[in-house]
Amino acid sequence: MTKRIFRSIFAVAAVVLLASFVLITGVLYEYFSNKQMDQLNMQTHLAAQGVESAGADYFNDMDIDGCRITWIAADGTVLYDSQAQQSGMENHADREEVQQALKTGHGESMRYSTTLMERQLYSADLLPDGSVVRISDMQYTPLTLILGMLRPVIIIALLALLLSLLLASRMSKRIVRPLNELSLDNADRIETYPELEPLTDKLRSQQNQLREQETELRRRRDEFEAATGNMTEGLVLLNEQGSVLSINRSATHILDISRYCIGKDIRAVSAVPQLRELAEKALGGEHCEAHACLGGVSYRLYASPVTSGDKVSGAVLLMLDTTEKEQAEQLRREFSANVSHELKSPLHTISGCAELLANGIVKPEDVPHFLSQIQSEAKRMIALIEDIIKLSHLDEGAEDMQREDVDLLAVARRQADNLSQAAESAEVSLSVSGESAVVNGIPQLLDAIVHNLCENAIKYNRPGGFVKVNVRREGGSALLTVEDNGIGIPPEQQERIFERFYRVDKSHSKEVGGTGLGLSIVKHAAALHNAKISVASAPGKGTVITVAF
For 287, list phi and psi in degrees, rounded to 5.
Answer: -95, 125
For 349, list phi and psi in degrees, rounded to 5.
Answer: -65, -45
Alpha-carbon distance of 532 to 548, in angstroms, equals 5
Alpha-carbon distance of 549 to 440, in angstroms, equals 9
How many of the other CB atoms lie within 10 Å of CB of 492? 7
pLDDT for 107: 92
Alpha-carbon distance of 129 to 384, in angstroms, equals 163
72 contacts 131 by C-beta, under 8 angstroms = yes
Alpha-carbon distance of 95 to 83, in angstroms, equals 18
Domain ranges of the chain: 2-148, 193-227, 231-321, 326-395, 404-548
- Exposed / middle / buried, residue 50 (Cβ in 10 Å: 0-12, 13-18, 19+): middle
Residues 6+ apart with CB under 8 A from 538: 488
Alpha-carbon distance of 353 to 337, in angstroms, equals 24
pLDDT for 308: 81
pLDDT for 189: 56
Task: Kindly give the parts of the chain with pLDDT less than 70.
Answer: 1-3, 5-6, 63-65, 113-117, 140-150, 153, 172, 175-196, 199, 331-332, 334-345, 376-377, 380-381, 383-400, 500-516
437 contacts 474 by C-beta, under 8 angstroms = no
Alpha-carbon distance of 530 to 526, in angstroms, equals 6
Q: CATH number of 326-395: 3.20.20.370, 3.40.50.1000, 3.10.440.10, 1.10.287.130?
A: 1.10.287.130
Going by C-alpha positions, the residue among 242, 267, 243, 263 that lies closest to residue 255 is 267
Alpha-carbon distance of 518 to 448, in angstroms, equals 8
pLDDT for 132: 92
For 139, list phi and psi in degrees, rounded to 5.
Answer: -130, 125
pLDDT tens per residue across span 209-252? 888 888 888 888 777 777 777 778 888 888 888 888 888 888 88
CATH superfamily, region 2-148: PAS domain (3.30.450.20)
Alpha-carbon distance of 351 to 311, in angstroms, equals 69
Q: CATH number of 404-548: 3.30.565.10, 3.40.50.1370, 3.30.470.10, 3.20.20.70?
A: 3.30.565.10
List beta partners, residue 477.
474
Burial 171-204 (b: 16+ CB within 10 A, else e): ebeebbebeeebeeeebeebeeeeebeeebeebe
Going by C-alpha positions, the residue among 538, 524, 526 that lies closest to residue 480 is 526
Residues 6+ apart with CB under 8 A from 161: 14, 17
How many of the other CB atoms lie within 10 Å of CB of 134? 25
pTM: 0.42
pLDDT tens per residue across span 293-343? 887 888 889 999 988 878 888 899 898 888 777 777 776 676 666 666 566
120 contacts 110 by C-beta, under 8 angstroms = yes
pLDDT for 521: 77
Alpha-carbon distance of 363 to 356, in angstroms, equals 10
Q: Under CATH, which architecture does the 231-321 domain have?
A: 2-Layer Sandwich (3.30)
Sign for the CA dihedral angle at 354, 360, 363, 368 comes to positive
353 contacts 359 by C-beta, under 8 angstroms = no
3-class DSSP string for 119-152: EEEEEEEECCCCCEEEEEEEEECHHHHHHHCHHH
Q: Is 111 helix (H, G, I), strand (E, B) or coil?
A: strand
How many of the other CB atoms lie within 10 Å of CB of 472? 16
Beta strands in 57-211 (DSSP E): 68-72, 78-81, 106-113, 118-126, 132-140
- Decide if 2-148 and 231-321 have a common fold: yes
Phi-psi region of 54 (alpha: psi -120 to 50; beta: other; left: phi over 0): alpha
